[in-house]
Structure 1
């Protein structure tokens, strides 16, 4: 064999090796993961190995997360290995769990397809019943219950603790909501009762204050009315009763009957006194009565009638006075 033949053989071998490497690389290369739906061909059941079903990835993720939560305490990691080894063992565990979940969902889909096909076949085999014929109902034998697969049992075992926990939480929340609503209802009733009581007390206090104010105003009105009555209707004083008896002959009243007159004496703007005096009596008696009534010195009392000062020794007859005439005191 020449050198050229050896070169050709070595080149051919290199080409074969490169092709083998490419095939191995293609086999090792992982398929791209689809976002929405995944077609998975299982191998656990020989009868359904060649059938393909579409599985929703979100459903797989949900079952996978629940499975991880239930198996969280049962995981074991190598404490002596580094972080890379721990992550690798966790990844291997994840792939196995997803594969089981894929197969579980796949078997469920296949079972649903089988049931649907069986129902379709039964519907096609039924012959139409003539209208004239008598309709008879044949009792169909009860179908045998489906055998529970090991995967379904595992699924129930995966979800049972989680469901119990959620149910317990829901019941606790319902109790809390019910107790909160009852407490709120009781609080509202108590607030309404307190509000009604406070309104009643407030109205009672207002009524009592108004009644007291009315009584006070009524009392003041009565006092003012009495005061005005005293001012507008002054009492009439008899001069003979108010003047002490004197032995002086000049002050003594003349003997014989005398006509009585009622004379008003204005002592101030709102002070009017009325005196009863005889027509022939001197004004000295009137001055003595005013002095005793007002408690002032009689020497300071000066009377005036029609703009003329009255002398003490004069009489009403001398001044031609009549009943209810007015005299002013200066």
Structure 2
């Protein structure tokens, strides 16, 4: 097969698997992202996420993740839902957490893509990565021409907005590489995401201080939440979509077609009182396969009590 055929076959399979976009790049050191990562870490903006500092070298150099790594396939997976929570007064769950944990759904697709390459292109070894290993996913997606890094620090696509996951498949064979042109920054003078962030976590253009981020507070923090942020959570109980919800580019977002991301039938109908009075059996029923299990029942209860105490004051 000629290189273009190989590339088209791989991208065709990615499309068949329901992925939004796909690009193939050579593995290399992310030189231009080094200083940004180092500055962010030096300013302790990673908070309790010590793994960010521990795996700093691997984040910049994929060759440290996969022996003899040659190629990286970067793909996007839409998670924008068709329906959202019905009770406007209920604690708000991030849209990405409605259905089955994306780590499983998305990674399974990448495993299928890896098997397909082995069967149809050439024998190879590789590993899928979905936000659970030290890969600078947004840097690779930007490098692949799949979007630009917006002022919120999210990757934004001209075609799809930003409600998608980014995944990578790193393999030990050379593939036909794309020659993408960097996507022009289309944020312009817009500052909607910066203005809308209730905790002012976007501390500079494209710089997020995780310690102030509602997603970080409700998911990553293991102890008590930051009392200084109590009045600014805007009823977010797990994760936060505010900077994405206000982004004009997300007017382009279309509902996903992934059955695994469909919400549990009861979840979107859950009333405020049902959230506040939730006990473990209901938690297990709603979130048995959900990313919410990362916080766990105790973590979700902590978040709910934090929201409730704010309204009592």
Q: Same fold (TM over 0.5)?
A: no
Query: Normalised by the shorter chain, which TM-score bucket?
Result: under 0.3
TM-score normalized with structure 1 length? 0.18
Report which structure shows greater RCO (CA 8 Å, sep ≥6).
Answer: 2
TM-score, normalised on structure 2?
Answer: 0.18
1 or 2, which has the higher helix percentage?
1
* Bigger CA radius of gyration: 1
